[in-house]
Amino acid sequence: MTNLGTVLGAILRDKERLKEGVHDTGEAMTYLLGANGSVQIYISSFSINYRDYNLTNNIGIWGHPTKGIWGTNKWGTDATAFDSWVEAQGGTPAISLLVKAGVKQIEDWFYGKSVDNPAYLAIGTGTSDITTDDTTLDTEITRISHVSAEGIGTVLYTATFNTLEGNANDLQEAGIFDDSSSGNMYLRFDFNPFDKDNLKELKVVLFLSISAKLPVTNRGTEKIIDFLSCQTPTQISHMAWGNGTTAVTISDTTMESELQRNTAITDSSYGTYSWNGLLQTSQPSGQPTSVTRTALFDASSSGNMCFIAEHASINKTSRLEIETKHTVGFKNP
């Protein structure tokens, strides 16, 4: 068995060689390189809105137990069947959390897996404390698909429950899910109790804010927004190395002086996801050269740069490979 002191001594000698750019053993060595980023996702505001059935106009509503008018063409329209929308309450939720199940789904998507979008909004009457371990609403009443839209750093969800949906006293919790009946809950929030009956329509409006700092770029944040707004953006697939000298910014869309781009792979062997890439001994052409930055892209050439990190200059020669690991976490503020 190899003596532990011998192993540690070899590691320290390799470390010094890498630091000094000395490669006198005739063998390839590996330089470990990495950077970490994080993205915050939270509910910045919400509103609970309702509109009452107009008893004066008394226009029929298809399928309604008391206001349906069979044998006529008097079916409800926005202009005549209901009064105007009224905001019952709104602002920042007292409690709202991106739950662990939601974090896991977003991570799975970000690291290349096939994941269902969070396309449904559920309401309920539960009163239990909200925790990140929650996987369902406390007492769900109903769930419908929402309409999503996106802005700069935001996603807007709007779910309108008709007169036959969600009728219950003391509605006071809501959540975003990726399935019409079960699935994964992404987030949960509460609001003041609201009574819903079959003479009201209810509209829940929810604003999500998504923010990140370098090494995640604006393009990277935009991709996360696209996914949360139920689109199907191209996922990250490649890692690049370069030797630019200009300071990187969050708005950068390309890598200055890109040297090489290789396929990236995901790894979760230590309980957390990462994007891993290897700059081989034969790469790039024109060695020796310096490596000062690494990035993640969604294509083998061009594409969107989602992540970029600066590093202390590394003297890259044909006796050195650079193993690179990039990690992005998703969290509440």
| pLDDT tens digits for range 92-133 | 999 999 999 999 999 999 999 999 999 999 999 999 999 999
| Whole-number Cα distances in Å, 262 to 201, 298, 301 | 53, 11, 10
Q: Is pLDDT of 332 > 50?
A: yes
What value does the mean pLDDT take over residues 58-72?
Answer: 71
**Residue count (the chain):** 333
Helix (DSSP H) and strand (DSSP E) numbers for the chain: 4, 17
Q: Is the peptide bond before 93 cis (omega within 30 degrees of 0)?
A: no
Q: What is the pLDDT, as a whole number, of residue 268?
A: 77
What value does the mean pLDDT take over residues 141-170?
Answer: 96
Binned at pLDDT 50, 70 and 90, residue 165 comes out as very high
More confident residue, 271 or 96: 96
Q: What is the pLDDT, as a whole number, of residue 23?
A: 40
DSSP helix/strand/coil, 14? helix
| Whole-number Cα distances in Å, 278 to 37, 90, 263 | 19, 49, 9
Radius of gyration of the chain (CA): 27
| pLDDT above 90 as % of the chain | 80
Question: Which tokens is 272 given?
Answer: 């957390």
Q: What is the pLDDT, as a whole number, of residue 64?
A: 79
Binned at pLDDT 50, 70 and 90, residue 71 comes out as low
Return the minimum-mean-pLDDT range out of 70-74, 231-235, 250-254, 321-325: 70-74
Binned at pLDDT 50, 70 and 90, residue 72 comes out as low
Entry pTM: 0.88
Binned at pLDDT 50, 70 and 90, residue 204 comes out as very high
CA neighbor of 178 nearest in space, from 148, 201, 153: 148
Q: Is pLDDT of 24 > 70?
A: no
What value does the mean pLDDT take over residues 322-332?
Answer: 95
120-124 and 320-331 as β-strands: parallel, antiparallel, unpaired?
A: unpaired
Q: Is pLDDT of 311 > 80?
A: yes
Q: What is the pLDDT, as a whole number, of residue 21?
A: 39
Q: What is the pLDDT, as a whole number, of residue 14?
A: 45
More confident residue, 143 or 18: 143
CA neighbor of 259 nearest in space, from 274, 273, 239: 239
* Partners of residue 196 on adjacent β-strands: 168
Q: What is the pLDDT, as a whole number, of residue 66?
A: 79
What value does the mean pLDDT take over residues 293-299?
Answer: 98
* Partners of residue 205 on adjacent β-strands: 47, 158
Return the minimum-mean-pLDDT range out of 16-25, 87-96, 248-257: 16-25
* Pairwise CA distance, residues 328 & 323, whole Å: 17
Binned at pLDDT 50, 70 and 90, residue 77 comes out as low
* Pairwise CA distance, residues 58 & 74, whole Å: 9
Q: Is pLDDT of 4 > 60?
A: no
* Pairwise CA distance, residues 116 & 120, whole Å: 11
More confident residue, 246 or 57: 246
Task: Tell me the pLDDT of the chain averaged across its residues.
Answer: 90
